[in-house]
A and B are shown apart, each in its own frame.
Chain A
């Protein structure tokens, strides 16, 4: 099986996406094939190439500082799985 450089357990923690042992193993072997393609990229000389984050050559897209209507409070919280009074409610934060 091709070598996969990903520390899946660590990355899953960063992504807050716990994986079962079975999932982690399956992903790992699937990534193996993908990294065959990705490694070809590593062989390319791009030292003097500018990275493209955006394909459209736009800059300074800014809005004027004008207040627009907010959502109604009811609409803002209507999708919340739990609320208390006007607040979004969720389990406590353990630091």
Chain B
């Protein structure tokens, strides 16, 4: 196959992500207002976060700690000396018309995110800043509304901005990168990373270049990405749009483009009339941060086991597949639940099967999560043990799990109530076996003629006669003996 210069097959995408994560502190970044989502408009505000005259910021220690812990979890270097700067620009959702952020001395630099493929995406920096308020537009869009309404509840919420190097090469990698970041953040408990509530937001810088080229192409920044899926779709769309531009011999313009979820397209956001000149300078209302080794090492010891380490351990110690380990570790609370089941049952493999299989299924059906379900790990473990010691069949266990998870019942109680315990009484099982052999002479003949399938049919008949209670292993043994 011959290749044409500039043809799509010859280009590669270069993607960098800027991810904003709201930190899960009790109070805001620079004032004592409660940091919460969904309160009535303009009720979580004070002179500081409304930017009233004379008000002053005081930095939240927890936000600094959370950012440093996030940095540690991602292998970043924590700065010995860091400071806050003002980023000056006018916008109605910004009470002071400047944002307190960090410019040339961010709290962390370096670090990386490892994708499932093993590829490492390097980080440029993570810095701490304050969130803006929210513009609520009367009417369907900004441009068509007659006026703007502003709610400043979100103004001043602590925000960390995680900037990646332009090392992501596909929409899929971008989604994987976000998933991993999300997992790490939720593990260390610094954010609830809910994209739909805006506690994780993402802008993507996308460019394309001839495959193997070293220079970066003209970059386009895509904003308004509200879900993992929209990040992926928008990047895919944008790469295709750029390739089409190249094919048509058009120039790619450096610009900001907005993603429109409905139409699945990006559109040029009219470049602001002013060239960006944020006039960063050190915020004279705040003093520098010099955190010191003692504090940083204490924070380091407080970090929990991270998803990557957990995955490795599950594969190594529990003999799980990479895939299963990945599924089980995507949320820390789920992983904790799984580990509790594994420990209590002494059977990690069965615990994994249950957690990914029937437990998940009944929860999904009930639209519940492990956190909201009433069943606890000890109960799931008890159920696994009932199967393992032959008290009930695996099939019967599947009937029990719903009551256990949704209603929080003890498995033994459900088994007793519904009479699901297996019969291991030799005499009773033998009676069922004999009855089945007698009623199915044809199958006995087929089996004896070499049709192995007939054996399973006979097992089924015995189980049916016993209404599932006969111990299946015992049934098999007796059948083999009789048909011997």
Residues of A within 8 A of B (CB): 13-14, 16, 53-54, 56, 58-71, 73, 76-77, 84-95
Q: Cβ of B118 < 8 Å from any Cβ of A?
A: no
Q: Contacts A63-B59, A92-B147, A93-B135 given; indicate if A70 touches B34 (C-beta within 8 A).
A: yes
Q: Cβ of B33 < 8 Å from any Cβ of A?
A: yes
Of residues B42, B47, B277, which shows the largest number of chain A Cβ atoms within 10 Å of its Cβ? Answer: B42
For the A-B complex with A14-B277, A76-B42, A91-B147 known, give 20 more contacts whose Cβ atoms are closer than 8 Å.
A14-B274, A53-B284, A54-B288, A59-B287, A60-B290, A61-B59, A62-B58, A62-B59, A62-B61, A64-B61, A65-B25, A67-B34, A68-B27, A68-B31, A71-B46, A86-B40, A87-B42, A88-B150, A90-B150, A93-B142
* Cβ contacts under 8 Å, B31 to chain A: 68
B291 contacts A60, C-beta separation under 8 Å: yes
User: Closest CB of chain B to A17's CB: distance in Å?
Assistant: 11
A70 contacts B45, C-beta separation under 8 Å: yes
Query: How many pairs of residues, A versus B, come closer than 8 Å at their CB atoms?
Result: 128
Residues of B within 8 A of A (CB): 25-27, 31-34, 40-47, 50, 58-64, 83, 90, 92, 135-137, 142-143, 145-152, 269-270, 272-274, 277, 279, 282, 284, 286-291
* Cβ contacts under 8 Å, B284 to chain A: 53-54
Chain B binding surface SS class: loop
One of A53, A65, A71, A91 near B60 (C-beta < 8 A): A65
Closest to B135 in A: A93
- In the assembled complex, the Cα of A91 lies from the Cα of B149 at a distance in Å of 9
One of B32, B145, B151, B282 near A92 (C-beta < 8 A): B145
Some 26 contacts from A to B, beta carbons below 8 A apart, are A14-B277, A54-B288, A61-B287, A63-B60, A63-B61, A64-B61, A65-B27, A66-B26, A67-B32, A68-B27, A70-B33, A70-B43, A70-B45, A71-B47, A76-B43, A76-B45, A76-B50, A87-B42, A87-B149, A88-B150, A88-B151, A90-B147, A91-B148, A92-B145, A93-B148, A95-B272
A62 contacts B60, C-beta separation under 8 Å: yes
A93 contacts B41, C-beta separation under 8 Å: no
User: Closest CB of chain A to B60's CB: distance in Å?
Assistant: 5
* Cβ contacts under 8 Å, B152 to chain A: 88
* Cβ contacts under 8 Å, A69 to chain B: 32
* Cβ contacts under 8 Å, A16 to chain B: 90
Shortest 7 CB-CB contacts between residues of A and residues of B: A68-B32, A65-B62, A87-B149, A62-B61, A86-B41, A53-B282, A58-B287
Q: Contacts A63-B60, A65-B25, A89-B148 given; indicate if A70 touches B44 (C-beta within 8 A).
A: yes
Closest to A56 in B: B287
User: Closest CB of chain B to A93's CB: distance in Å?
Assistant: 5
* Cβ contacts under 8 Å, A76 to chain B: 42-43, 45-46, 50
